[in-house]
Structure 1
Amino acid sequence: MCTRFYVEPAYYAPIITRAQKLKLADDMMRHLGKPLTMSGEMRPTDVTAVLAPNKEGRVAVFPMIWGFSHEATDAPIVNCRLETASQKEMWKDSWFRRRCVIPCSWYFEWEHFRSPDGKRSKVGDKYLIQPKDSHTTMLAGLYRFEERNGLQVPVFSVLTRYAIGELREIHDRMPMILQREDVESWIKPNGNPQEVSRRALTEMCFEKTG
């Protein structure tokens, strides 16, 4: 699961600046009233700098809103399960044609405890989590375009998978995190997402925070 992640302002300043200078970012701010900070602790519906293919299919930076909309709920759909992304109607077109990467410093997760009957849950401590021996966390995502206040804007959702190893003590799911060398392969429109997903990082380090 992933409902918060952190973007260090100084480290990611180059791509944030590129995203902020685009006309699309200015339109989002004027038409939707969206702040364009794109750093710090990012929450659902925030605008952040995302890597996606340009018209030539090469990696480029775009401002995107976090969360697909759905008529059945007012809440944005911010996560997508890796196991069913290629099958479910909401995701499958993006799985095969519109994949993106959300660069950040780390993501946050809260401990989840369930009662023995599985009917009740309790939230515990907040953890900062990132790949071992890395200052970057490349979250794999899917994106699409939606109309918001008459404006066509790109929105994204973060792919999640079953948690591995010690992370399962915090939560049973984790975001799919790419190796840096797989970023271009993941984004490539004619790439093989299933093959890239098999190489996703699973060795994480974590600590309690706040």
Structure 2
Amino acid sequence: MCGRFTLEASKELIASKLNVYMDELEPSYNIAPTQDILAIVGSTNGRRAGYLQWGLIPNWAKDTKIGSKMINARSETVDEKPAFTSLLARRRCLIVADSFYEWKRIANEKQPYRITVNNGDVFTFAGLWDRWESDGEEIVSCTILTTQPNNLMGEIHDRMPVILDERQREMWLDPTLEDKIMLKRLLTPYDSNKMDAYPVSKKVNNSKYNDSSLIQPITI
């Protein structure tokens, strides 16, 4: 799964890498579920960046609390689940990050690791979004797709988030592409040779901690 990640990159770097622009961007070293996260959506008028609530609330949901249970979606069955199947065809997004955390079980404890991509470069998770409305209230939310782990992640956890490269990003945001079989083919494990992982402080377990000390490597 993917339950925490970071985004400390500047808006200028994100603009140059992903061809999107935003007015404000606050660095975060411990992004947690239910928080607003930076996402990119595509349309016939181009792509745009904005903030979505992390934890998908389907448009048909009766209770917004369901969002806290839907921070991730399994790519293998995304075209089968009622909450996701229609979104795969028409409501896809990219979620911007520059690292994520995962927990490895060691003896009776779970040790957090920070995972980076392409030597710490900005990257994107594959995501889905939806709009929930009720009694004048509106929440636009999203979920991160997960897949089987690559060789690196398999040593840490049995799942990993779907990370899309530049070619895959273009296809994922293409509003004219609705072929679910073709879209699912994009949802594969990222190349482990382009990823790195190292242990970090257990302070990351608490979302109240949010500073650069969280991404510093530790010795275990």
What's the Cα RMSD here? 2.7
Contact 1:45 1:76 (C-alpha < 8 Å) held by counterparts:
no
- 2:199 paired residue number: 208
Query: Is 2:183 aligned against 1:197?
Result: no
Residues 38, 91 of structure 1: CA spacing in aligned structure 2 closer, same or farther, 3 A cutoff?
A: farther
On the 8 A contact 2:34/2:67 being kept in 1, the answer is no
Equivalent residue letter for 1:18: M
Instruction: Please name the residue that 2:54 is paired with.
Output: 66
Q: Is the 8 A contact 2:55 2:67 kept in 1?
A: no
Deviations, residues 1-29 of structure 1 (Å, cap 9, x unaligned)? 10101001436676697165xxxxxxxxx
Deviation at 1:37, TM superposition (A): 4.1
CA deviation after TM superposition for structure 1 residue 189, in Å: 2.3
SS of the equivalent of 2:3 reads coil
**Which structure dedicates a bigger proportion of its chain to strand?**
1
Change in Cα spacing, 1:123 to 1:53, as seen in structure 2 (3 Å) is farther
**2:9/2:98 contact within 8 Å kept:** no
Deviations 1:52-77 (A, max 9, x none): 024x2522112111001365857341
2:99 touches 2:120 (CA, 8 Å); kept in 1? no
What are structure 2's unaligned runs of at least 5 residues? 202-220
Q: Distance in 2 between matches of 1:133 and 1:156?
A: 27
Alignment check: 8 A CA contact 1:2 1:158 kept: yes
For 1:86, which of 79, 95, 103 is the aligned residue? 79
Partner letter of residue 34 of structure 2? T
Q: 1:163 to 1:14 in 2, by over 3 A?
A: closer
Aligned residues: 186
- Give the distance between the partners of 1:38 and 1:65, measured in 2 at CA: 17
Measured after TM superposition, the shift of residue 151 of structure 1 is 2.9
Alpha carbons of structure 1 residues 197 and 188: separation in structure 2 relative to 1, 3 Å:
same
**The 10-residue stretch of structure 1 (183-192 or 82-91) with the greater mean CA deviation from structure 2:** 183-192
Aligned sequence identity (%): 24
Aligned pairs (5 A) from 1:41-52: 41-52=30-41
1:66 maps to amino acid: W
Number of the residue aligned with 2:217: none
Tell me the secondary structure at the aligned position of residue 155 of structure 1. Answer: strand
